[in-house]
A and B are shown apart, each in its own frame.
Chain A
Amino acid sequence: MEANLEIKKETTINITRRSGSGGGVLKILLFIFISAIVILPMLITVFASFKSLPQIGSESALKPPTSLNFENYKEVLKSANVFIAFKNSTILVVASVVINSILSTMVAYCLTRFDFKLKKAYFAIFLVGLIIPGIVTEISRFGLMTNIGVYDTLLAPILIYAGADLMQIYIYNQFLQQIPVSVDESAMMDGASYFTIYWRIIFPMVIPATATLGILKAVDVLNDMYIPFLYMPGAEHRTLSTLLFNCISDPRTSSIPRLSAAAVIVMIPTLLIYFIFQKYIFSGIAAGAVKE
């Protein structure tokens, strides 16, 4: 996997060198234009979060705030329970990522190393999972969640996020296929059991993939609004997304400067993850699509 990436990087550099910079200015201008479209809405929001309501009405939105006025942030922190939302989102992310990486690698290990009766069924389920429209099927999942008593607890989203992420199993499957079976065989010669092989060899070998998939999963979970909205209506179970959703209709936080401040707070965790782990995110997406 790592080696693969390395090769890809090199080829890109090669092409760049060879093709030179013919007509480069126009292309750069094009990308500057696109970057502006991407960045301006965000910049305007950050600006607005430091302004007062009268300033929003009278000033141009593109005018930077004259001072770093944290009044809106203080007000948001006071009226919305941001810390609980942070805590809940963190619990959901950690639980989903950890459980998911263990369960998915176990399934992928079985699928790539053994022949068994359920194997075909598993591959059929991958296909079904692609077609099922996630949002509307919650209608029939909803009753189940209330019946097993996890409604309005953190367990409800954890079970959904961690339990059946077919896409991740599928991608792990691709990674495990690339590990030659001879690795397993030589470990067996040394007397290792299947359990040992999985835990001491296979699991450590796919850690790069786990990093990638874990980060993608973390971003997904942090940004998901719908499942926490549906299954955890209680105020003490708000996540960052549902907290912000609530801010839109709460008169204490619904004014543009305050809503902007709330949006900035909610954006920060995923943005940090993105800037730190960008490399993994891109390679994960590439792995999901190009190998299919």
Chain B
Amino acid sequence: MFKNTDLKMQKNLVLVTFLFIPTILISLFMIYPLIRLVALSFTSWDGLNPTKTFVGLQNFKKIIFDSPEVWVSLKNNGVYFVGHLLFIPIELFLAFLLDQRVRFSKMFKTITFLPYIINTVAVACMFIFLYSSQDGVLNSMLQFFHMDKIGWLSDPKIVNYSLTGVSIWKFSGIHIILFLAAFQSLPTDMIEASIIDGASTFKQFYHIVLPNIKPVVEIVLFLNVRGALQIFDIPYVMTSGGPNHASETFTIQTINTAFQYQNFGLACAMAIVLMIIIIIFSIIQKKLFNLKG
């Protein structure tokens, strides 16, 4: 047994040794960049020049009033957001079926989650072939049915929907697994009771199960806001924002503003605008969701 004073010393020693490195890493790689992001958003820094000129709210003014392309790119993010949102009820229902009502559930669960595990760049390569206008799989199928070819990735009106399709293909699995985990954490008798009552699948789902997994639905809705507003890899790898900026998302524009056009100050302001949009959107969505539920 240690004496109390010994214990206190020991406790402090543990705290210092255990927290020293993590605290430094978190401060250095998370908190400091965040503070720097805010500070730089008020400058016109180009990323190289040692002097950073303070320009006040000019960057934010420019984004809001003088950057139509930013708002167009946000509209593209909107396509991803709505696409995924429409799939959430379907994902919920599939998870519900996987939880109890299908034979081979385990195998289907494995397959459903498969796309999420695959390397995003590999996914992009797969769909580049599928969408290709020359030898593409989808266009060959259309030809087979004597229909016109579609410029899946080359038509500015269609490209965002094609890319959203890839995103849904890749990310639906994680939503289904999250919902499934939620269903499985429910007490068995809750569902059992409703089966004995003879409640139909849909009624049972809507009135008994759904209210009880609300927290997880909220998490998925939040993840969707964050994911859709931050989508980067899929459009960047598949179209690099083209044709003619038609599939640029907010993050692609921010990254290009910083690293291609060397306008770090403006890019930092864009990052902050994105953060604010994510927060506002999440709050609105949560309010709406609770109103309905």
Contact = CB atoms under 8 A, between A and B. Distances in A.
Answer whether A and B are interacting partners.
yes
Interface of A: 8, 11-12, 14-16, 18-19, 21-24, 27-28, 30-31, 34-35, 37-39, 41-42, 44-45, 48, 56-57, 60-62, 103-104, 106-107, 109-110, 114, 116, 118, 125, 128-129, 131-144, 159-160, 162-164, 166, 169, 188-189, 191, 193-195, 198, 219, 222-223, 225-226, 240-241, 244-245, 247-248, 256, 259-260, 262-264, 266-267, 270-271, 273-274, 278, 281-282, 285-286, 289-290, 292
A14 B134 CA distance: 52
Nearest to A46: B126
Contacts of A273: 117
Contacts of A125: 26, 30-31
A256 B275 contact: no
A129 B37 CA distance: 14
From A135, A136, A137, A264, name the one whose CB has the most chain B CB atoms within 10 angstroms: A136
Contacts of A39: 111, 114
A132 B216 CA distance: 20
A145 to B, nearest CB: 9
Contacts of A274: 114, 117
Contacts of A62: 137
Contacts of A289: 178, 181-182, 216, 219
B169 A37 contact: yes
A290 B216 contact: yes
Contacts of B122: 244, 263-264, 266-267
Contacts of B135: 56-57, 256
Contacts of A245: 121, 237
Interface in B8-31: 10-11, 13-15, 18-19, 21-23, 25-26, 28-31
Given A223-B120, A245-B121, A267-B118, A41 B101 contact: no
A244 B119 contact: yes
A114 B19 CA distance: 12
Q: Which among B40, B181, B255 has the greatest number of chain A C-beta atoms within 10 A?
A: B181
Contacts of B284: none
A269 B184 CA distance: 30
Contact of A163 (B26, B99, B270): B26
Contacts of B254: 135-136, 139
Interface in B177-213: 177-178, 181-182, 184-185, 188, 191-192, 195
A107 B99 contact: no
A32 B20 CA distance: 52
B154 interface: no
Nearest to A10: B188
Interface in B226-277: 226, 229-230, 232-233, 237, 251, 254-255, 258, 264, 267-268, 270-271, 274-275
Given A282-B177, A290-B185, A28 B22 contact: no
A139 B267 contact: yes
B125 interface: yes
Contacts of B13: 194
6 contacts: A28-B102, A107-B19, A110-B14, A131-B275, A139-B264, A163-B28
Contact of B36 (A31, A35, A143, A286): A143
Contact of A137 (B18, B34, B232): B34
B29 A292 contact: no
B65 interface: no
A247 B237 CA distance: 11
Given A31-B108, A35-B108, A281-B113, 11 more contacts: A12-B105, A16-B105, A31-B98, A34-B112, A45-B129, A60-B140, A106-B22, A133-B271, A140-B33, A267-B118, A290-B178
B37 A133 contact: no
Contacts of B30: 125, 129, 132, 164, 166
A195 B10 CA distance: 9
Q: Which of A107, A189, A240, A290 has the most CB of B within 10 A?
A: A290
Contacts of A14: 188
